[in-house]
Amino acid sequence: MPAVRPALAELRARIGQIDGTGARQHGVLPFGVRELDRRLPQGGLSLGALHEVAGGGQGAVDGAAAACFVAGIAARMKGQVLWCVTQADLFAPGLAQVGLPPERVIHVEAGDDISVLAAMEEGLRHGGLGAVVGDVARLSMTASRRLHLAAKGSGTIGLALRRWRRQADASDFGQPTAAMTRWRVSELPSAPLPVPGIGRARWLVELIRARAGDSFDLELEACDGAGHLRLPADVADRSAAAAGGRHIALS
């Protein structure tokens, strides 16, 4: 949490109660990366809210990095995860490697976006799940508002993974929705290695929109085996070994 004056904090709480951001009731999930958490309004992703994630460039179609980013968030939540999709190309061993083992994920394969949204809402209203993820292309204001209210009622975090059939459709991401935050995750060249090979994946994580917060972008190292992101060693201004703590280095 950034240090704020008590009066300001109280005012924010009151505004939060009025506009229903819900962070006060349900708490937040910090990323564990100080650079990232410091810039988020409540010091993390608010639980009991809807968040949107999309891939950048080619990722708008395949949504691979966005899926890993979302899986990393879901992995750090407690309990079962409901993952609703229309295209069945999610590879469970890949999810297990970012900390989401198959016994924690219930997959739902629906025929169209509307069924996905309905399944997500059902999952969010249930309240017993850790997180609810849905691969959706179109997310209207009404649909996102329903999801957000369902999430707020139960305290479950909702993650809408935006993914389109064609890259041109990704302009849809500019349309307003009721989501608390909107992220774009794009692949970057991996961490350089002294030997031939591919190092730990890196992402450009952009917070495009946040309610009551500023947008920013940050270069981060991809999720490790427990779903934690990490600041690249050359950016963090310290050696990778010193970054230790709760980050498990698995690259």
Partner 1 sequence: MWPIDRRQRQAGVTSRSVEGPLIIAGRVGNRRTITAACPVALDLGLRVGMTVSRAQALVPDLRIEADDAGADAAALERLALWLLQRVAPIVSTDPPDGIVIDSTGADHLHGGEATMLEALAGKLALSGITARLALADSWGAAHALARHGADGVIIIPPGGLEAALAPLPLEALRLPAATVAGLRDLGFETIGDLMDQPRAPLTRRFGEALCRRLDQARGLTSEPIAPLRPEGLIEIRRAFAEPVAAPETIARYIGKLVVQLCAELAAKGLGARRLDLLCSRIDNRTEVLRVGLAVPQRDPARLTRLFCDRIVTLDPGLGIEIMTLTATIAEPLVPRQAATSLLEETAPDLSGLIDTLSNRLGARSVFRFAAVASDVPERAIIRIPPLADTAAPGTEAWPDHWPRPARLLPRPELIETMALLPDHPPRWILWRGVRRHVQCADGPERIFGEWWKRDAEAQAVRDYFRIEDEAGARYWIFRQGDGEDRATGSHRWFLHGIFG
Residues at the contact surface with partner 1, assessed by CB under 8 A: 57-59, 62-69, 71, 79-80, 82, 88-98, 101-103, 105-111, 115, 118-119, 122-123, 126-129, 186-190, 193, 196-198, 201-203, 222-223, 225
CB nearer to partner 1: give 23 or 81: 81
Handedness of CA 31, 32, 35, 40 (dihedral sign): positive
Closest separation between CB of residue 7 and partner 1, Å?
A: 38
Question: Which tokens in the block code for residue 28?
Answer: 């937040």
81 phi and psi angles, rounded to 5 deg:
-120, 130
CB nearer to partner 1: give 194 or 245: 194
Closest separation between CB of residue 99 and partner 1, Å?
A: 11
Give the closest residue to 109 by CA, choosing from 100, 101, 99, 119. 119
Closest separation between CB of residue 63 and partner 1, Å?
A: 7
CB nearer to partner 1: give 16 or 146: 146
Position of tokens 């990323």?
31
CB atoms within 10 A of CB 19: 10
CB nearer to partner 1: give 15 or 92: 92
CB nearer to partner 1: give 180 or 229: 229
Closest separation between CB of residue 1 and partner 1, Å?
A: 27
Closest separation between CB of residue 151 and partner 1, Å?
A: 15
Closest separation between CB of residue 88 and partner 1, Å?
A: 7
State whether residue 53 is helix, strand or coil. Answer: strand
Cα(164)–Cα(54) distance, rounded to whole angstroms? 9
**From the centroid of its chain, how far is CA 48?**
13
> DSSP characters for 70-88?
HHHHHHTSSS-EEEEESS-
CB nearer to partner 1: give 42 or 159: 159
Give the closest residue to 71 by CA, choosing from 85, 58, 57, 61. 85
Cα(24)–Cα(42) distance, rounded to whole angstroms? 9
31 DSSP assignment:
-
Cα(173)–Cα(162) distance, rounded to whole angstroms? 8
Closest separation between CB of residue 42 and partner 1, Å?
A: 25
CB nearer to partner 1: give 49 or 108: 108
